[in-house]
Amino acid sequence: MHALISPAGLAAFPCSGRPVVLDVRWRLGGPPGAESYREGHVPGAVFTDLDTVLAAPSGEGGRHPLPEAADLQRALRKAGVRTGQPVVVYDDADGSVAARAWWLLRWAGHREVAVLDGGYAAWQAEGHPVTTEMPSPEPGNIEVRPGAMPVLTANAAAALAREGVLFDARAHVRYTGETEPIDPRAGHIPGAVSAPTSEHTGVDGRWRSPGELAERFAALGLSADAPVGAYCGSGVTASSVVLALEVAGHAVPAALYAGSWSHWSRDPERPAATGSDRG
């Protein structure tokens, strides 16, 4: 299954083979995505919360650490996810929260998963139906087997920033340290490259073409054989870097530093670079 699916592609699935659809709308600072879901969603979509399903409780591991395998399996089975059955995920922002769900399912060993290109807005714009009806999916049988996507520890992220390419998906002003509204310290991991996730999509919210994404990453210094990873504030938007690289045709999946800056910045012994230079 390709990493992206168009609204028309999702709508064209026959009823008998329709994928499980997960609504993962979430916004930093609210309103809660569950409210938007209740006001209208893709028919059959199951609301899946970032904070309680797609992440473990915040703490020393960061603001959105990876969930425990058993907890994730329980939630995905409740949503109806079955082994080998396609899953489509969507949000209503820049696709980064949907990318986290995509990445997490891939990390769990489920390859048949795609992000809805353009999200809920694109679904509506093309005139596809929406509903307020709450689905009651049959329980799934997915077996969560963590480790199918590469992850980075803090030390590994530091090394990759020097020996390969480590992309920082946050807004550039957070990379430079001009502002830090959330985490304990400002700046970036020394050696990391600024690659704001907002540049993965166009003004219409749809993902840029494979060629455009490939050109962007090449302009940021990525070669075909370079080891590559990504981080952000809490491991959510960095997932969109991993997805964008796959769409761009990068052969090996990028590694994700799941704790990201929310984990890195907790330790005063870890250095922080500021300014536009990699440091």
Positions marked catalytic:
232
CA–CA distance, 261 with 64 (Å, rounded to integer)? 11
Q: How far apart are the C-alpha atoms of 43 and 49, rounded to whole Å?
A: 18
Q: Is 87 helix (H, G, I), strand (E, B) or coil?
A: strand
- Residue 101 has φ and ψ, to the nearest 5°, of -65, -40
User: What are 206-211's contacts with CB under 8 Å, separation 24+?
Assistant: 206/117, 206/118, 206/122, 207/4, 207/95, 207/115, 207/117, 207/118, 207/244, 207/247, 208/244, 210/247, 210/248, 210/249
Instruction: Give the DSSP H/E element, type plus range, for residue 88.
Output: strand 87-90
Enter the tokens of residue 48.
């899946």
DSSP code for 183: S
Residue for token digits 């990318």?
A: 99
